[in-house]
Amino acid sequence: IRGKEKLQKQYNIYKEAGRILELPSNHKGKWHELFGNDNPIHIEIGTGRGRFISTLAQQNPEINYVGIELEHELLGRVGNKAMELGVGKNLILTPADAIRLNDFFAPGEVSRIYLNFSDPWPKSRHAKRRLTYTDFLQLYRAVLKPDGELHQKTDNRDLFEFSLNMFAADDWKMQKITFDLHNSPWNEGNIMTEYEEKFSGQGMPIYRVEARPWP
Ligand code: SAM
């Protein structure tokens, strides 16, 4: 319970600072007003503890980041991480389910989507819950700019193959596909997520793809 209280406290601090938005749909089509500039918007779905998005936000002040995470409490940790790293106003967090993405962003409002180590939902009857299921791809297609991209990393080969098949079936163009990111030319500048560190530490290869919807 102590840990929970601490997380809630961290959450409240970041929320009071205006960095956690509980009603992201209020900003649909108006995120640029909130960020106070016209910089591109990149989102991560399922931030977990948030090292990835906080580090990106620190490294790229000219890009606006929105982190979406189902588990409300985890955002306390993300906020803490962002404060530790001295991240500025280019990172907003929102406790929400990505299934509602089209309520949060207007068509073409997002330049890039990151999916890192998404839950694999291994049972085939749960395939619809995978974040690269065709229904989710339609949501992403709707909010992405015409030249927008989705970047996916995972340790789960079945989820990766499923995702490649889903992208292909929905006419997404794929590039930089690797079955071993850390030994690939695309590892330079890679920011390891908390899950990535754990799985690669166990000797597991990391899969990665960049995909872009075709009109
Ligand atoms: N990306 C982090 C990493 O690589 O360390 C966390 C990976 S964890 C396995 C998956 C995260 O996605 C969990 O924190 C979970 O709560 C979140 N998540 C799952 N489904 C989601 C959804 N529909 N919308 C938002 N977040 C979701």
Token reading at 14: 């970041």
Taking the C-alpha atoms of residue 164 and residue 148, their distance in angstroms, rounded to an integer, is 17
Task: For residue 154, give Cα distances in angstroms to 30, 56, 198.
Answer: 32, 18, 12
pLDDT, residue 2, reads 77
Is residue 118 within 8 Å of 82, Cβ to Cβ? no
Residues with CB under 6 A from ligand 1: 45-48, 68-71, 74, 97-99, 116-119, 193-196
Atom of ligand 1 nearest to the CA of 194: 5
CA of 74 to the centre of ligand 1 (A): 10
Per DSSP, which regions of the chain are E strands? Answer: 41-45, 64-69, 91-95, 110-116, 144-154, 172-178, 207-213
CA of 98 to the centre of ligand 1 (A): 10
pLDDT, residue 44, reads 98
Taking the C-alpha atoms of residue 21 and residue 67, their distance in angstroms, rounded to an integer, is 10
Give the amino acid at 132: T
Active site residues: 119
Taking the C-alpha atoms of residue 123 and residue 118, their distance in angstroms, rounded to an integer, is 15
Is residue 15 within 8 Å of 87, Cβ to Cβ? no
pLDDT, residue 1, reads 66
pLDDT, residue 3, reads 82
- Segments of the chain with pLDDT less than 70: 1
Nearest CA to ligand 1 atom 17: 46
Taking the C-alpha atoms of residue 132 and residue 127, their distance in angstroms, rounded to an integer, is 9
pLDDT, residue 99, reads 97
What is the CB-side half-sphere exposure of residue 211 using CA atoms within 13 A?
Answer: 25
Testing ligand 1's pocket by substitution, the residue of 93, 131, 204, 208 carrying the most ligand atoms inside 8 A of its CB is 131
